[in-house]
Amino acid sequence: MPEPGADILVVASREPVALEVWVPLEEAGHRVRTVADGLAAITELKRQLPDVVVAEWEAPGLDGRGLCEAVRGDPELRDTHVIVMTSSARAERAAEALEAGADDYLATPFEQTELLARVRAGRRTSQLRASEARLRALMANVPGAIYRCAPDREWTMELISDEIERISGHPPADFIDSAVRTFASIIHPDDRERVENAVFEACKARRPFVLEYRIQHADGDARWVLERGQLVHGTNGRTWLDGAIFDISARREAEEERRRREAEQARVAELRASRARIIEAADAARRRIERDLHDGAQQRFVAVALQLRHLLSRLQKTAPDAALLLEDALDELQRATDELRELARGIHPALLTERGLVRAVEALISRLPMAAKLHEAPKERLPQPVETALYYVIAESLTNACKHADASAVTVDIGCAQGRAWAVVADDGVGDARMTEGSGLGGLSDRVEALDGRLTVQSPPGRGTTVRAEVACD
Amino acid sequence: MGSVNETILIVDDHATFRRSARLLLEAEGYRVIGEAEDGRSALSEAESLEPDVVLLDVFLPDLDGFEVASELTGRGLAVVILTSSRDGADFGSLVAESGARGFIPKMQLSGAALDALVGS
Ligand SMILES: Nc1ncnc2c1ncn2[C@@H]1O[C@H](COP(=O)(O)OP(=O)(O)OP(=O)(O)O)[C@@H](O)[C@H]1O
Ligand SMILES: [Mg+2]
């Protein structure tokens, strides 16, 4: 396959020489520019870099030596492939030319085939240089440290890109041939063995490896890195590890932060659940005590009252004096039963369990010594812990409205939608209520929070008080 | 006592209450013709015994007292008087809505209290 033509700059002061070079190159398909002296050559090089320069050693203005030195001294031109033509009569020129920085020389006179061969070789070199330059640029721009190192326990570096300085705080030169420090020495001591094992195992299995480990930055902090690499076979039987190291500290930190947050959330949820369980257990105990009072003592009192009343109807005819005494006893028993009933209700409102929140709140309102109204209320029953929490909030708020608010009216709203249930008690009284720790309302926030809820009190002075409890309800 | 010979069915899950209520009411002229300890047997007893009055506890182990009351009154089986050891205020409008004639707290139960509601 014929190679596509190369860009060639010919520097020749004498017409015949120029022709001698120019013609065969053009015929071979190359694009040739010609200049007469070294200075013009520099200008032309700067205008557009050719693949190969073919220059006379002896030239007016800037000669071959000057041209070579100028090219090698300019970072932009440095990689240009320069072939110098020297007279075969003066063999020492060749050495001089190479010394001055030429890549190659052609002894004049030369065969066309030799010219073409030298140019072709020169062009390959310059292509190689260009791709090497690209590789270097790539290495410098990849956001990771690219390395080649020996598969030994020190990870002796053959090369490592500049990024390692940003990652580790140490310049790359420190690691080359382990001049200042070994790469192994900056791996976190707790991770060293793991890294070694993982890499050697992957090498043995002829697999690439990917691992994450910590390195110790020069500033003393640990950094997390991700390393990918694999064993490669180089020339003369040597093996290398080629790979790249990326700083993933930010990602790791974000992950750790997320884990911490999740753990914290789980802890909060567990705490809340355990609070809810404790409250549930206490409520269950209260329900049981209320039941026992109701089914036990209270029923006995009722039975006794009925029996006494039975006795009374007889005594009224036969022994009116005794009957009067018995009537007093019945009154006393009535009061005792009322007290017991209030006590039982205080322990747990049985109506709440048996007939639900709305009914229980209606009963509360009917006993209230002030005007109160239940506006909105859900038709369906809510889960028991939800009903209980909302009931206690409403009961306490209604009691407070009577005790402290000097209000003319109080309203209650109960609602439930989209996994939340709430109760709002609002009065038009004096306001300025404070939720104090340990007292009535303050004590209820625990109960509300245990259901992933919030208890809020809005009570601007002179503008009434609104207590709102909202809890999760599913 | 205007209620002499009125027949009555006592429904309550507490045996002591049924016993003392029976003694009291019988002494005051009612004929207690049956007892039931839950809602379902109350309905079947009422059907077969055809009492004039059913004294019905609000809290029953199986059915809700108010439901039993509406069933009984809806079918015209008897006059229903609800009773409970709890405060009547707890039940608000439920008593009236159930079709029951009235409510007597258990502690206040007597032939006279019953007469006052049944006679009205
Ligand atoms: N609706 C209200 N209007 C005006 N002030 C109120 C109202 N509710 C509460 N307060 C004020 O806020 C204070 C705190 O109320 P909270 O219910 O926490 O305690 P308390 O009622 O004083 O005591 P406890 O409820 O334990 O018997 C009350 O002492 C009262 O001064
Ligand atoms: Mg209070």
| ipTM of predicted assembly, 2 dp | 0.87
Closest ligand (CA of A442): 1
Task: Give the pairing type, strands A81-87 and A104-108.
Answer: parallel
User: What mean pLDDT comes out for the span A4-25?
Assistant: 89
For residue B110, the 8-state DSSP code is -
- Assign residue B90 the CATH number of its domain: 3.40.50.2300
- For residue B66, tell me if it sits in a domain: yes
φ and ψ at residue A142, rounded to 5 degrees: -65, 135
Contact, A243 vs A147, CB < 8 A? yes
- Hey, of A291, A301, A302, which one would you mutate to test binding to chain B, going by the most B CBs within 10 A of its CB? A302
Look at residue A294 and tell me whether its pLDDT is greater than 90: no
- For residue B87, tell me if it sits in a domain: yes
pLDDT in tens, A239-266: 999 999 999 999 999 999 999 999 999 9
- Hey, of B23, B24, B62, B93, which one would you mutate to test binding to chain A, going by the most A CBs within 10 A of its CB? B24
What confidence score (pLDDT) does residue A438 get? 67
User: What mean pLDDT comes out for the span A342-353?
Assistant: 90
What confidence score (pLDDT) does residue B4 get? 57
Look at residue A171 and tell me whether its pLDDT is greater than 60: yes
Alpha helices in A28-111 (DSSP H): 38-47, 64-73, 92-100
User: What mean pLDDT comes out for the span A271-288?
Assistant: 92
A334: chain B residues, CB-CB within 8 Å: 107-108
Pseudo-torsion of CA A246, A249, A253, A259, nearest 10°? 40
Tokens 């006494």 belong to A308
Look at residue A87 and tell me whether its pLDDT is greater than 90: no
What does the mean pLDDT of chain B come to?
A: 90
Task: Determine, for residues B85 and A359 on separate chains, whether the beta-carbon distance falls below 8 Å.
Answer: no
Q: Is A7 helix (H, G, I), strand (E, B) or coil?
A: strand
The dihedral through the CA atoms of A240, A244, A248, A251 has a sign that is negative
The length of chain A is 474
Q: How many domains does chain B have?
A: 1
Distances (CA, A) of A301 to A68, A249, A288, B81: 122, 75, 19, 21
- For residue B50, tell me if it sits in a domain: yes
User: What mean pLDDT comes out for the span A434-449?
Assistant: 83
Contact, A244 vs A211, CB < 8 A? no
Closest ligand (CA of A441): 1
Name the pLDDT band for A137 (thresholds 50, 70, 90). Answer: confident
Ligand 1, atom 20, residue with closest C-alpha: A440
φ and ψ at residue A319, rounded to 5 degrees: -140, 80
A204's tokens: 């043995």
Contact, A38 vs A63, CB < 8 A? yes
What confidence score (pLDDT) does residue B1 get? 45
Please report the residues numbered 286 through 315 in chain A whose beta carbons come closer than 8 angstroms to any beta carbon of chain B: 294-295, 298-303, 305-307, 309-310, 313-314
What confidence score (pLDDT) does residue A142 get? 85
A341: chain B residues, CB-CB within 8 Å: 85-87
How many of the other CB atoms lie within 10 Å of CB of A422? Answer: 19
Look at residue A215 and tell me whether its pLDDT is greater than 80: yes
Nearest chain A Cα distance for residue B59, angstroms: 8
Look at residue A319 and tell me whether its pLDDT is greater than 80: yes
Task: Give the pairing type, strands A52-56 and A7-11.
Answer: parallel
Q: How many whole angstroms separate alpha carbon A347 and alpha carbon A287?
A: 8
Nearest chain A Cα distance for residue B120, angstroms: 22
Look at residue A141 and tell me whether its pLDDT is greater than 90: no
Look at residue B2 and tell me whether its pLDDT is greater than 60: no
Nearest chain A Cα distance for residue B90, angstroms: 5
Nearest chain B Cα distance for residue A408, angstroms: 22
Q: How many whole angstroms separate alpha carbon A330 and alpha carbon A159?
A: 105
- For residue B1, tell me if it sits in a domain: no
Q: Which of B14, B87, B111 sits opposite A299 (nearest CB)?
A: B14
Q: How many whole angstroms separate alpha carbon A243 and alpha carbon A229?
A: 4
Name the pLDDT band for B86 (thresholds 50, 70, 90). Answer: confident
Ligand 1, pocket residues at CB < 6 Å: A 396, 400-401, 403-405, 427, 429-431, 433-436, 439-442, 465
Identify which has the larger pLDDT, A166 or B119: A166
Looking at the DSSP assignment, which residues form a beta bridge with residue A415? A422
Looking at the DSSP assignment, which residues form a beta bridge with residue A226? A212, A246
Contact, A82 vs A55, CB < 8 A? yes
Q: Which of B23, B92, B110 sits opposite A362 (nearest CB)?
A: B92
Name the pLDDT band for A140 (thresholds 50, 70, 90). Answer: confident
Look at residue A421 and tell me whether its pLDDT is greater than 60: yes
Q: Is A433 helix (H, G, I), strand (E, B) or coil?
A: coil
Closest ligand (CA of A443): 1
User: What mean pLDDT comes out for the span B5-25?
Assistant: 93
What does the mean pLDDT of chain A come to?
A: 91
CA-nearest of A360, A309, A326 to B106 is: A309
Q: How many whole angstroms separate alpha carbon A392 and alpha carbon A422?
A: 12
pTM value surpassing 0.90: no
User: What mean pLDDT comes out for the span B71-80?
Assistant: 94
Task: Give the pairing type, strands A145-149 and B102-105.
Answer: unpaired
Q: How many whole angstroms separate alpha carbon A226 and alpha carbon B61?
A: 69
Task: Determine, for residues B23 and A350 on separate chains, whether the beta-carbon distance falls below 8 Å.
Answer: no
- For residue B40, tell me if it sits in a domain: yes
- For residue B85, tell me if it sits in a domain: yes
CA-nearest of B90, B87, B105 to A306 is: B105
A305: chain B residues, CB-CB within 8 Å: 106-107
Under an 8 Å CB criterion, which residues of B touch A?
14, 16-17, 19-21, 23-24, 27-28, 59, 85-87, 89-92, 94, 106-111
Q: How many whole angstroms separate alpha carbon A9 and alpha carbon A11?
A: 7
Tokens 């007889």 belong to A314
A333: chain B residues, CB-CB within 8 Å: 107
Ligand 1, atom 4, residue with closest C-alpha: A405
Look at residue A429 and tell me whether its pLDDT is greater than 80: yes
Nearest chain A Cα distance for residue B91, angstroms: 7
User: What mean pLDDT comes out for the span A36-50?
Assistant: 92
Using most ligand atoms within 8 A of CB, pick from A370, A400, A446 the residue to mutate for ligand 1: A400
- Hey, of B12, B17, B18, B20, which one would you mutate to test binding to chain A, going by the most A CBs within 10 A of its CB? B20
Contact, B18 vs B10, CB < 8 A? yes
B103: chain A residues, CB-CB within 8 Å: none
What confidence score (pLDDT) does residue A1 get? 45
B28: chain A residues, CB-CB within 8 Å: 313
Calculate Rg over the CA atoms of chain A.
Answer: 49
Task: Determine, for residues B85 and A351 on separate chains, whether the beta-carbon distance falls below 8 Å.
Answer: no
Can you tell me which atom of ligand 1 is nearest the CA of A439? Answer: 26
How many of the other CB atoms lie within 10 Å of CB of A419? Answer: 9
- Domain hosting residue B81, numbered range: 7-118
Q: How many whole angstroms separate alpha carbon A120 and alpha carbon A131?
A: 17
- For residue B41, tell me if it sits in a domain: yes
Q: C-alpha angle with apex A96: A95 to A97, nearest 5 degrees?
A: 90
